[in-house]
Amino acid sequence: MTEEEMSSQVILRLLPRARCMFDEPVQVTVSGLRARQVVTMRARSTDEKGVEFSSSATYKADGNGEINLERDPSLSGSYVGVEPMGLLWSMRADVLHKRFQKTKSLNPHVVKFSVHEEEGEGRMLAEATNERLVMGDGVSRRPVKEGNIRGVLFTPPGGGPFPAVLDLYTFGGGLSEKRASLLASRGFVVLTVALYGHDDMARNITEVHLDYFEEAIEFLRKQDKVGSKGVGVISLSKSADLALSIASYLPDVEATVWINGCCANIFLPLHYKRRQIHPGLMFDISKMIPTESGAFNCKYATHNPLAEENKATLIPIEQAKGRFLFVASDDDLNWDSKTYVDIMVERLKRHEKQNFESVCYPGAGHYLEPPYGPYCPSSFHGVVGKPVLWGGEPRSHAAAEVHLWKKIQEFFTTHLSCDTAQTKAKL
């Protein structure tokens, strides 16, 4: 049998299908290899900025010439051990400090899987393409440009009623649709909003106005298929302290997911009804620690929010009527999010509040996102103006994202009660 005939019989399968949701696992199998043949499995994808990400791992076929990534360990490469989705989360760019950019919802995340001979030049034996959809079938996408609001509204198929969620993926500028469209695909009406750097908005800002989010919540609650009495809010990083302020000062917020943020109003002054309600907690650039990669460790660069001179930045979360889910990564190197959770929990307990739950993920870094995207160790930080380390160990971070994504959906489903009569009244 010639090499060409042998390789033509090698089949790489993606199960249950090659087209799936971004947040769904896929089973990768190979058949038609020689018994106990050693091969290299590869995955590659190009992000929205044209940057190519890739991963590779060495596998050994069983006695039948088959490999199953749910069963078989990687012997070496981008990861080792049994990791069914390892080829996806371990993808890295060839250049340093690049974060995988996937912000648009209409185009799938396309990943090319391939299997190669271990010897020689690594001739490709088989390949398959995985289309990972960011927006599920039947979900409607409506750009919003009403009043001051700039964003996109995602609505699930069917009559509802559905719980409503405001997605704050605001810092870094522009608009990110991925998390919002995936949540809508799981049964939530989601409005994701931009704060600056999108459409006709200012390219940069020097202050934040809570009134903008109040307008967004009012708009979201009026949508026909919304059945929840109030809304949920989901956030990450800087937008997490905005979520705390929204929950503490504005009505109709029933459930807030805070991910790796701060307990104080960070960087930019916060205004509401034409007056400043919080100054910005700043950071000390001299406390940023340089590393060999050129990225900085910023974990302890932010000023202490409990210091007397900074107490005006602390957000009065005891005023919030809704529930909180506090999520911290133990190895967050952007700042000390675990300590900020401890401060918030102590504050709520001091006010005899029990409207919170918290989870901490050992070995996870700052950017906890919907699962199965490439792990990002470092990238450019817009506020700092330099590349920074985000922290985390790839395997632990990937596992945390899988667990958290399910927990977020359960939290919102539990605490955003839907009322069919309320939906009918709107119709």
So which residues are the catalytic ones? 237, 332, 366
Strand partners, 74: 81
Could you give the angle at which helices 238-249 and 210-221 cross, rounded to 10 degrees? 70
How many CA atoms lie within 13 Å of 370's alpha carbon, on the beta-carbon side? 27
Residue type (1 letter), 337:
S
**Cα-Cα-Cα-Cα dihedral sign, residues 206, 194, 333, 243:** positive
3-class state of residue 379 by DSSP: strand
Strand ranges inside 100-156, DSSP E: 109-117, 124-133, 140-146, 149-155
Distance CA 180, CA 168 (A): 9
Q: Please state, in angstroms and rounded to a whole number, the distance separating the CA atoms of residues 124 and 147.
A: 54
Which residues does residue 389 pair with via DSSP β-bridges, in sequence order? Answer: 378
Measure the CA–CA gap between 306 and 340, rounded to whole angstroms. Answer: 10
